[in-house]
Amino acid sequence: MSRLWPDWITDWPKDMALERFSAQNHGDYTKWQTAIEAMPQVQTDAVTLNHSAITCELSGATQTDLAQMESCLRQLHPWRKGPFQLGPLYIDTEWRSDWKWDRLAPAMGTLDGQRILDIGCGNGYFGWRMLGAGAASVVGVDPTLLFCMQHRAIQHFVQHPEHWVLPLGIEELTATHRFDWVLSMGVLYHRRDPLEHIRQLHRLTEPGGRCVMETLIVEGDQVLYPEGRYARMRNIGAIPDIGSLERWMGEAGFQNIQIVDVSTTGLDEQRSTSWMQFESLDKALDPSDLSKTVEGLPGPRRAMLIGERR
């Protein structure tokens, strides 16, 4: 059984994090935990972490087992990051996160022996891929308890001892413990103070380490501060242009900033599926002009940058 907490992190709020796995913290916790506990005990023959889908080969699973497994996993809807392949069961998530990983992985290079922190990690998909690329350990934090429970469900099969997804926010992490890599993917535009977010990433990065910043951006030379919603999302603080993003990273202390990728999110990369049945990107764009959101704002483009902490 995988450990619930990385014992080498002694300066984070362990008790608070573990207490959040409770019905007192979320009304659906009991339903989710019951679903995980009800999953069949089938043998995992092999785990593959370096393919597009995180894959577990299962043996001895009957059709009854597989039906029960699917029923339990569907109770953890919506599945946003992935995909996952558990025996014959394919979890077709909202995001083709493997496409984003394929754009990032060449720039990260070898991760052998690295300790990694993934901020806003969702269910931990990118953590699995980094372990597949040789990372020694990955700690993900995400305040959304459902995503932490999805990670527990995948761990039911993978049982990797060096991957954690904890229900914490970045503001709850002390910077006395730092990491070789710190990732912030899809978080910055949800922050009211983006520069402070990047400064916190810098504080959590080991000297000599690097940070991945992935975020929505806009074209031009000024930051977009949406009034009301952006692409139907409520909690949007600021969407920077690429120049402002580079400047913010520099002001926070990062050096040798590299633009890894700039791309437009397509309807084949983010979409509704049977595993994420809510409305997705197609409902957030102007149907007569997919380059704009339904609010008439510039449509979603995303950038990945890597900066070094000296």
Could you tell me how far CA 21 lies from the centroid of its own chain?
19
Phi-psi region of 120 (alpha: psi -120 to 50; beta: other; left: phi over 0): left
Task: Report the mean per-residue pLDDT for the chain.
Answer: 96
The answer to whether residue 143 scores a pLDDT higher than 80 is yes
Rounded to the nearest 10°, the torsion over CA 247, 250, 252, 258 is: 100
Structural domains of the chain in order of their starting residue, each with its CATH number: 93-308 (3.40.50.150)
pTM of the model: 0.97
**Range of lowest pLDDT (1-5, 130-134, 177-181):** 1-5
CA atoms within 13 A on the CB side of 99: 13
Q: Give the orientation angle of helix 194-204 with respect to helix 242-252, to 10 degrees.
A: 50
Could you tell me how far CA 96 lies from the centroid of its own chain?
12
One DSSP character per residue, 80-91 reads: -S--EEETTEEE
Give residue 60's pLDDT band: very low, low, confident or very high (50, 70, 90).
confident
Residue closest to 136 by CA, chosen among 44, 6, 308, 13:
6
- The helix (H) or strand (E) run that includes residue 130 is helix 125-132
Three-state SS at 303? strand
Whole-angstrom distance, CA of residue 194 vs CA of residue 200: 10
The answer to whether residue 1 scores a pLDDT higher than 60 is no
β-sheet bridge partners, residue 95: 270
- Per-residue pLDDT, 3: 84
**Where do the DSSP E strands lie in the chain?**
43-48, 54-59, 84-86, 89-91, 115-119, 137-141, 163-166, 179-185, 205-217, 255-264, 285-286, 289-293, 301-308
Q: Output b/e per residue, 180-204; b: 16+ Cβ within 10 A.
A: bbbbbbbbbbbbeebbebbbbbbbb
The amino acid sitting at 182 is: V
- Per-residue pLDDT, 180: 98
Mean pLDDT of 47-76: 97
Tens of pLDDT along 191-212?
999 999 999 999 999 999 999 9
Contacts of 40 (CB under 8 A, 6+ apart): 61, 65, 68, 69
Q: Are 137 and 116 in contact (CB under 8 A)?
A: yes
